[in-house]
Amino acid sequence: MTPNDLDLRWGLMVPELLVLLAGVLVLLVDTTVKAPDQDRRGIQTGISTLACLAAAGYTAVVLGSTSGTRTGFGELFVVDGLAVWFKSVVLLSAALASLMSERWLRNHRLTSGGFIALLLFSTAGMLYMVSAADLVMLFLGLEIMSIPLYVLAASERRNARAVEAGLKYLVLGSLATGFLLFGISLLYGFTGLMGQPSTCIADVVAAVLRSAPDVPALAVGGGILLFVGMVFKVGAVPFHMWTPDVYEGSPMSITAFMSVAVKATAFAAILRVFGGSGVLEALRLHDLLFALCALTMVVGNVAALAQSSVKRMLAWSSVAHAGYILLGVLAGTQDGLAAVLFYSLGYAAMNIAAFGVLVHLSEKGHEVERLDQLRGIATRVPLQAAILAVSMLSLMGMPPLVGFWGKLYIFRAVVFADFPGHIAIAVLGVLMSAVSAYYYLRVVVVSYMSDATAPAPAHRPSFGNGLATATAAALTVLIGLAPGAFLALARDSAESLRASSAAVAPAVDASTATAVAVSPQPPRR
């Protein structure tokens, strides 16, 4: 195979390449630009933000303008509606997170080269994972996403909690990667069993569907392991143990980035492999996912009730939200998938807004941790307090903010879906959502209705963080005001998933035919 047969369509990979280039550029700034640390931090966060925004713009405008599925690079790389949507979400989160990081780096007097570069590399990994049409690419993307995050979680390496966060994330993350890899190898073996060994996601899905309803244990085991590996990154119960500690120990901006972008990426991968084509049912994963959703919602919300640290509370709340989003996957209908897409975007906006306010209130040696540190911030920093309140209300699901619409679409999709117990789990979701009101409202109450105990800390506000917070808050409100347009977009994007899985069906027959023609011995089934 010569390079020309590979359909190297570089146009499809522009966002990834932009982000990688920016990462290298950021590293070069450290060695070439002779300037005070502060200016360099500005330059580097600026490069990072601009690159991410440019990539997001390219993704949304150029790649998003033509619908339909485009593959390239030996059919390993795919750009479709799903990829465009999630890439936009990831790139937006990355841009906002790098804006927020400047503040944290300044507080800790750290040089930013490595930090920002790792953030960008991780983003690139996410982009590759979202675009993966092959399990090999998926695995590589996952690793490139995770390894920088293990390091970033431990950025503050003089702090025992940060080191704990990094180590826990590394060890448990590696375990999950092991599951994922083992799952991939079993599935590869399974496709070989079906006649044509392949790691291509479409081939694997086709092979599973072809062998349904009597899917071999090999495929079921591989599917479960693959699913577990992905669900770990989502932070669903019982694979959530790392979440609170890692989120608590990491720098605030990284926590925001992880809770939003990693989650979105993992959902993109789950949708790409298990979404919409009936693989979930064929592999008998549906009941497992049902239990997972119920557990995740209950444990996440109940544990969040008991937290006195805002960061930990937000960590548990992110577990709970993972449960809501998984409900959309569970529904499996077109509406459900569209709701997953919509919710990922909305969650990114509101969660980043909340963390942005916390970053604003933090100083070195004065991280906002405990809830009572938020006492009376409404009088001290009214604008920030308002943004915090908006994001909390949105996370709770208050209309007309984006969180409300997200939950509404998810629950509606579940109610109209067709699987046993769908009403029950929708009711459970709504109940748990009501439970969450307690801990979200507590933040609002504390910040508005109690007197300030500590004097306002004197610090310079960070332009970058302010911009990020304002953008996220504005998105929270704006999407909430016009949910229909965004839902329509999400529906279009999810349509591509349905289209590509429909394309699998004729491909099944074709590949069976070739397999029979090529292999000396016909496949067993």
Partner 1 sequence: MTSSAFMYLFLAAAVAGGVGMLALRHPIHAAVSLLGTMLCLAAAYAMLGAHLMAVFQVIIYAGAIMVLVVYIIMLLDLGSDDARAFRSVKVFVGIPAATVLVSVLARLAWHRAAGTEPRPGLLSSIGDPAAAALPEGFGTVASIGRDLLGRYVVPFEVTSVLLLAGIVGAVYLTGRDSAGLKAQGNAVGEGKGTGDGGQAEGAPAGGEEFAA
Planar angle of CA 395, 372, 466, nearest 5 degrees: 55
Measured in degrees and rounded to the nearest 5, phi and psi for residue 157 equal -80, 0
CB hemisphere CA count around 32 (13 angstroms): 8
Q: Which of 136, 224, 452, 499 binds partner 1 (CB under 8 A)?
A: 136
Q: Which is nearer to partner 1, 31 or 66 (CB)?
A: 31
Planar angle of CA 28, 32, 37, nearest 5 degrees: 90
Distance between CA atoms of 348 and 259, rounded to whole angstroms?
8
Q: Which is nearer to partner 1, 214 or 451 (CB)?
A: 214
Stretch that binds partner 1, among 33-41, 99-107, 137-145, 346-354 (CB under 8 A): 137-145
Q: Which of 52, 118, 237, 354 binds partner 1 (CB under 8 A)?
A: 118
Q: Does 440 bind partner 1 (CB under 8 A)?
A: no
Stretch that binds partner 1, among 210-218, 284-292, 339-347, 380-388 (CB under 8 A): 210-218
Q: Does 167 bind partner 1 (CB under 8 A)?
A: no
Q: Does 144 bind partner 1 (CB under 8 A)?
A: yes
Task: Tell me how far, at minimum, the Cβ of 219 lies from partner 1, in Å.
Answer: 9
Distance between CA atoms of 302 and 294, rounded to whole angstroms?
12
Residues 6+ apart with CB under 8 A from 346: 394, 402, 403, 405, 406, 476, 479
Stretch that binds partner 1, among 110-118, 248-256, 309-317, 431-439 (CB under 8 A): 110-118
Q: Which of 137, 282, 304, 389 binds partner 1 (CB under 8 A)?
A: 137
Q: Does 9 bind partner 1 (CB under 8 A)?
A: no
| CA 444 to mean position of chain CA atoms | 26
Q: Does 1 bind partner 1 (CB under 8 A)?
A: yes
Q: Does 122 bind partner 1 (CB under 8 A)?
A: yes
Q: Which is nearer to partner 1, 6 or 160 (CB)?
A: 6
DSSP code per residue over 116-142 = HHHHHHHHHHHHHHHTBSBHHHHHHHH
Q: Which of 151, 165, 252, 353 binds partner 1 (CB under 8 A)?
A: 151
Q: Does 340 bind partner 1 (CB under 8 A)?
A: no
Q: What is the CA radius of gyration of the chain?
A: 23
First to last CA, the chain: 31
Stretch that binds partner 1, among 336-344, 410-418, 481-489, 516-524 (CB under 8 A): 516-524
Distance between CA atoms of 84 and 495, rounded to whole angstroms?
12
Residues 6+ apart with CB under 8 A from 307: 313, 316, 439
- Which residues in this chain contact partner 1 in the complex, by CB under 8 A? 1-3, 5-6, 20, 27, 73-74, 76-77, 114-115, 117-118, 121-122, 124-125, 128, 134, 136-137, 140-141, 143-144, 147-148, 150-151, 154-155, 157, 189, 192-193, 211, 214-218, 519-521, 524
